[in-house]
Amino acid sequence: MPVADEVMALVAGKLLGHLDLEEAGYERELIDRAVALLGVDGFVATSLEDRSLAAVTRAFPGVRTALSLGRDRREVGPARLPGTRLSELPPMRWVRACGAHGVVVHHRLARATVLREAARNGLFTLVWTVNDDALMRAFLTDDRVDVLVTDRPRHAVDLRGRSRDTGEPPDAPERSARPFGHSAP
């Protein structure tokens, strides 16, 4: 895994890594590499596949994991999308079954009930992919959101700074979401 190793080495000790397990069956090899390069607490492993996360939590109990919710409509297809979305709500039975420590949730599902359930159950949350200014402001100041994924990370940092300067909600500065970018804007 030379490319993955290079990227992990680049962020090691500087940033927390996000390792998205998109295919089942390679968990042990990938997590072994991530632990060797980033340390057990240097990344979060995520997946749409609960069986992948269950394998990780069994083999690597110290590694933080999060169940991804909000499958892409291209992956599911328009006819099956409503049923798929409903099956993801409420998420706690899936989270408990795979032993995940958090949820990675599409912003539409986050607002439906997932943030409330995650907070009630002490889970960390990563909300993706938010590029709209109004939604960014809302999630950046929501103390239930730990990480906000955006294609506009510099802009999100600026918005977060402006909300702190204007005093939006009083307790948000210590707990406001950290922007996490897909790519440079």
* Domains of the chain as residue ranges with CATH: 2-128 (3.20.20.190)
Can you read off the two tokens belonging to residue 45? Answer: 């492993």
CA distance 85 to 115: 15
Q: For residue 23, what are its two tokens?
A: 């295919």
Helix (H, G, I), strand (E, B) or coil at 179: strand
Shortest CA distance to 179 belongs to which of 142, 141, 140, 144? 140
Question: Taking all residues of the chain, what is their mean pLDDT, rounded to a whole number?
Answer: 84
Contact between residue 140 and residue 148 where contact means Cβ atoms under 8 Å apart: yes
Q: Which residues of the chain have pLDDT under 70?
A: 1-2, 71-90, 166-185
pTM above 0.85, yes or no: no
Do β-strands 102-106 and 64-69 pair in parallel, antiparallel, or remain unpaired? parallel
CA distance 96 to 101: 9
CB 107 within 8 A of CB 129: yes
pLDDT given at position 93? 87
Through-space distance between the first and last CA atoms of the chain, rounded to whole angstroms: 27
